[in-house]
A and B are shown apart, each in its own frame.
Chain A
Amino acid sequence: MSEELDLGLGLLDHQLVDCDGRRCGNVDDLELEGLREGALRVTAILVGPPVWRGRGWFGRIASALATGPTVRVPWEEVEKIDSAVHLKKTARELRLGRGDDKARRFVDWIPGS
Chain B
Amino acid sequence: MKIFQIALGILAAIGGFVDIGDLVFNMQAGAKFQYSLLWVVVVGVVGIIVYSEMCGRVAAVSKRPVFDAIRERMGFGVGLGALVSSQIVNLMTLAAEVGGMALALELLSGLPYRALIVVGIVVLAIVIWVAPFDWIERIFGYCGLALLVFAVGAIKLHPDWSHVAHGFVPNVSSSEPLIYAYFAVGLLGAAMTPYEVYFYSSGAIEEGWTPKDLGLNKANAMIGYALGGFLSFALMITAGVLFFPQGIEPELIGTVGLGAQVPFGAIGLVLALVGILFAVGGAAIDTCFSGAYNLAQFFGWEWGKHRRPRDAPRFTIAWAVLLLLALLVIMTGIDPVMLTEYAVIFSVVALPLTYIPILLVANDTAYMGRYTNGRVANAFGLVYLVIIMLVAVSAIPLMIITHQGQG
Contact = CB atoms under 8 A, between A and B. Distances in A.
Asked whether A and B interact, the reply is yes
A104 B308 CA distance: 11
A23 B76 contact: no
Contact of B300 (A15, A82, A113): A15
A26 B301 CA distance: 8
B387 to A, nearest CB: 27
Contacts of B367: 83
Q: Which of B68, B300, B303, B308 has the most CB of A within 10 A?
A: B300
Q: Looking at chain B's contact residues, is the secondary structure mostly helix, strand, loop, or mixed?
A: helix
A15 B72 CA distance: 9
B75 interface: yes
Contacts of A24: 300, 302
Interface residues of A, number: 35
Interface in A27-51: 28, 47
A15 B313 contact: no
A15 B312 contact: no
A103 B313 contact: yes
Could you say which interface size class chain B belongs to?
35 or more
A13 B71 contact: yes
Interface string B54-72: 0000000011100010011
A108 B62 CA distance: 31
A88 interface: no
B73 interface: yes
Nearest to A62: B80
Contact of A52 (B76, B296, B316): B76
B79 interface: yes
B358 to A, nearest CB: 14
A28 to B, nearest CB: 7
B299 A58 contact: no
B314 A99 contact: yes
Given A104-B313, A113-B310, A58 B76 contact: yes
A15 B311 CA distance: 17
B81 interface: yes
Contacts of B334: none
Interface in B112-144: 129-130
Contact of A13 (B62, B76, B314): B76
A107 interface: yes
Interface of A: 9-10, 12-16, 22-26, 28, 47, 52, 55-59, 62, 82-84, 97, 99-100, 103-104, 106-108, 110, 112-113
Given A12-B75, A62-B80, 5 more contacts: A14-B72, A58-B77, A106-B313, A108-B310, A113-B309
25 contacts: A9-B366, A14-B68, A14-B72, A15-B64, A15-B68, A23-B301, A25-B300, A26-B71, A26-B300, A52-B76, A55-B77, A56-B76, A58-B78, A58-B81, A83-B62, A83-B366, A84-B64, A97-B301, A99-B301, A99-B314, A104-B313, A106-B317, A107-B313, A108-B310, A113-B308
